[in-house]
Chains A and B, each alone.
Chain A
Amino acid sequence: MTERAFTISGLAATVAGNQILNGVDLEIRPGEVHAVMGPNGAGKSTLSHVIMGKPGYEATAGSVTVDGVDLLSLPTWQRAQAGLFLAMQYPTEVPGVSLDDMLSNSFQAAGKSVDGLAEALTAEADRLAFGREFLERALNVDMSGGERKRNETLQLTVLKPKYAILDELDSGLDIDALRVVSRRVEAATNEDGLGVLVITHYNRLLSELKPDQVHVLAGGRIAASGGPELAVELEESGYAGYAESDAA
């Protein structure tokens, strides 16, 4: 039996013909929180996009598996159905499409019942201090940056994936919202065994959502890994050292 894990090994990727990732290795087990930090342009967002299969991002080597299922051979929607969730840095506006419509379709594609979906949405919205009025709106339309991030978190908690990538979830959130969202994600790691890959530029999120491991992405690969103390260290010294080692 395959060991349960979200495994990225030797992942290389190009965007518009440019090599951005040069062999990324990560392994996240159920219930763990891993943080990937790095300077601008290190390939943090490319990592999340190529794993989810965004058009224009091409994996050229390596593999990504979720509990043994090879993701790179699947279309995006099946990667999601395999148990992976991506909370996007810039959630897209989808006019005229409600949260309920989207999630119902996702549940139906998984062969799951949609009974109780509306109740789950209101319960989770309350838990995230996300106004119920937002549940009626079209996806991300007329929402502030912070509201969109709560909306992403809401979807994560209702879809209940095995693993989640949180791409710059902290951008656009004020400190109170950051705390609420972080606690909710942390609860999911404890209650549901959710494994989390947090992509962030700053330590701010990590003071709320405690990582088990911190990785530095520089030059398209994992340049260093360590415990939570690494994030603190990076906050003080910056990424300059990694950028140099990358150039060498």
Chain B
Amino acid sequence: MNERFSADVLDGAAGLTARPGRAEAAAAALTAELPTTETEEWRYSPISEPDFVELLDGLQPALTAPSTDAVARVREASDAVLGRFESIAATVLVVDGFVVDIDVAPGWAAKGLSVEVEENRWINELPVEPTKFDYLHQAFSPGPLVIRSIGQVAVTEPVVVLTHHDRPSTLSCPHLVVEVAEAGELTVIEFQSSAPEAGVQLPITELTANNASRLRYTVVQENGDDHIQIGRQLSSAGGQAALTSGVAAFGGRYLRLRTDSRLVGRGATASLAAAYYGDDQQVHDFRTFQHHEARDTKSDLLFKGTQDDSSGSIYTGLIHIHPDGAGTNAFQTNRNIKLSDDAWAWSVPNLEIENNEVHCSHASTVSPVDDDQRFYLHARGVPPTAADRLIVAGFYDEVLSRIPSEAARGRVRELINTKLDRRSRNQPAEG
């Protein structure tokens, strides 16, 4: 990091409204060191390796809204994604962290769907041990996009958010807030993309499901090859609320996501799922926390990934049952298929239980394609490359079934197939 990130640049930043804490956060970011792998939460992460440090040194923050040309270009590219949906309650375009377009169907606006930028709402609570990236986000994030349902409205059509990182060598800090009112219902599908050149994005997503509400959020990430994303997802579910989060991570050079899921009301449930696939030198880095803070809560986490070439993945997860978490059911499963000898995967599940009336389980596997499944398909005349392709694509079915939108599922299937097509092209011919 450098003087381009000093608090002074905030004075002339047309896109960033003044708010308390910005300058202090910028100053703190400038002096904070990068996290090292000696910290448990950053173990195995390549972020402090020289090529990443070099990239971070050459960055500058996105201080102004993108040009109209850039917005037009991104809008044009988004047509293909939007065309997948039969109906949409609202569409939002976010470029380099700035909300550049909001389009809410008038019917839904009248019924209580609110989509707007709230300049005065930002995360003023830093994590207990803030990292350089937390400070950067606090200093350089524009006003957040806030999507909320007001009253007991069930918004039965999805809100689609298209988040694009456009300018190379910049740092962008998108901030999305989704809040569903008591007994309401809301589905948000986010598609993240970026230019192919290197850039860094620090997205923060806050999901709040109030009592007896239903919140479904899915993010499909297909960033460019050299893109780096270091994100956080903070979710909270109240009494009898049902929260669903789906993550599909396919693009980028390094993608890190920390999810903190809090079940704060009796009977709250959370379904947390992720599908990821790395090839070339990609690294996926997931840190998940399932906090059971109230009675009779249930969380079910399923993260499934594939590692090919010399790519790698890290999964560390913690189920934390708080003293008030009697009657908790908590599940945590991470499964990985390792397709090449040079690929790597760390999978470390953990439990911390402070109440004994609970039912918890965790499972994690890292293994090659199953030999018996292979043999079965080969014995039916399916050639090896095609057989592996079927098995790997089928491996994700369990996660796909948890994504609450056929349009999003369809796109994820395409992304899986794109990865598998590339793999098939790189395999030796079968005689």
Tell me whether A226 is interfacial, beta carbon within 8 Å.
Answer: no
Q: Mark A130-170, 1 if CB is under 8 A from B, else 0.
A: 00000000110000000000000001000100000000000
The 7 tightest CB contacts between A and B, nearest first, are A96-B394, A96-B397, A80-B381, A106-B381, A76-B378, A97-B394, A92-B376
Q: Determine if A109 and B381 form an interchain contact, defined as CB atoms under 8 angstroms apart.
A: yes
Question: Taking the complex as formed, is B373 at the interface, i.e. its CB lies under 8 A from any CB of chain A?
Answer: yes
Q: Contact residues of A with B, CB < 8 Å?
A: 52-55, 75-77, 79-81, 85-86, 88, 91-97, 101-103, 105-106, 108-110, 138-139, 155, 159
Is A92's CB under 8 angstroms from B375's CB? Answer: yes
Whether the pair A97, B377 counts as a contact (CB closer than 8 A) is yes
Whether A96 pairs with B396 at a CB distance below 8 angstroms is yes
Q: How far is the CB of A167 from chain B (nearest CB, A)?
A: 11
> Do A102 and B398 touch (CB < 8 A)?
no
Instruction: Report A-chain residues with C-beta under 8 Å of the C-beta of B398.
Output: 95-96
B387 touching A77 by the CB < 8 A rule?
A: yes
B390 is an interface residue with CB less than 8 A from chain A: yes
Chain B contacts for A109, CB-based, 8 A: 381-383, 386
Main secondary structure of the interface of B (DSSP, over half): helix
Measured in the bound complex, the distance between the Cα atoms of B376 and A223 in whole Å is 30
B397 touches A80 (CB 8 A): no
Report how many A-B pairs have Cβ atoms within 8 Å. Answer: 84
Closest to A82 in B: B381
Assembly CA distance A76 to B372 (angstroms): 12
Tell me, in angstroms, the Cα distance from A104 to B378 when the chains sit together. 13
Known: A55-B371, A94-B373, A105-B386. A77 touches B378 (CB 8 A): yes
Contacts of B397 in A (CB 8 A): 95-96, 138
Asked whether A91 and B383 contact (CB < 8 A) given A96-B394, A138-B394, A138-B397, the answer is no
Q: What's the tally of chain B residues with a CB closer than 8 Å to chain A? A: 23
In the complex, the chain B residue whose C-beta lies closest to that of A52 is: B379
Residue among B371, B372, B382 with most chain A CB within 10 A? B382
Q: Which of B387-425 contact A (CB under 8 A)?
A: 387, 390-391, 393-398
Check B384–A75 contact: CB distance below 8 A. yes
In the complex, given contacts A92-B373, A95-B395, what are 10 additional A-B residue pairs having Cβ atoms less than 8 angstroms apart? A77-B378, A77-B384, A80-B381, A94-B391, A96-B394, A97-B394, A108-B386, A109-B386, A138-B394, A159-B380
Residue of B nearest to A76 (CB): B378
Q: Is the CB of B375 within 8 A of A155?
A: no
With the chains together, A79 CA to B378 CA distance in Å? 9
Residue pairs across A and B with Cβ atoms less than 8 A apart, 5 shown, are A80-B378, A80-B381, A91-B376, A97-B377, A108-B386
> Residue on A with the closest CB to B399?
A96
Instruction: Pick from B380, B384, B394 the residue with the most CB of A within 10 Å.
Output: B380
CA distance A139 to B375 in the complex (A): 13
- Determine the chain B residues whose CB is within 8 A of the CB of A138 once the complex forms: 394, 397
- Contact partners of B376 in chain A: CB under 8 A: 88, 91-92, 94, 139
Cβ distance A156 to chain B, nearest Cβ, rounded Å: 10
Provide the residues of chain B in CB contact with A97, threshold 8 Å.
377, 390-391, 393-394
CA distance A86 to B376 in the complex (A): 9
Residues of B within 8 A of A76 (CB): 375, 378-379
A101 & B381 in contact (Cβ 8 Å cutoff): no
Evaluate contact between A105 and B390: CB separation under 8 angstroms.
yes
User: How far in angstroms is the closest Cβ of chain A from B372?
Assistant: 5
Among B377, B379, B384, B387, which residue has its beta carbon within 8 angstroms of that of A86? B379
- Measured CB to CB, the closest approach of chain A to B380, in angstroms, equals 5
**Are A80 and B394 also in contact (CB < 8 A) when A92-B373, A94-B373, A105-B386 are?**
no
Question: In chain A, what residue has the closest Cβ to B392?
Answer: A96
Question: B393 and A94: CB pair below 8 A?
Answer: no
In the assembly, what is the distance between CA of A97 and CA of B390, in Å? 6
CA distance A54 to B371 in the complex (A): 9
Interface residue from B371, B378, B393, B396 paired with A75 (Cβ < 8 Å): B378
Q: Shortest beta-carbon distance, A53 to chain B, in Å?
A: 8
Nearest Cβ in chain A — how far from B158, in angstroms? 25
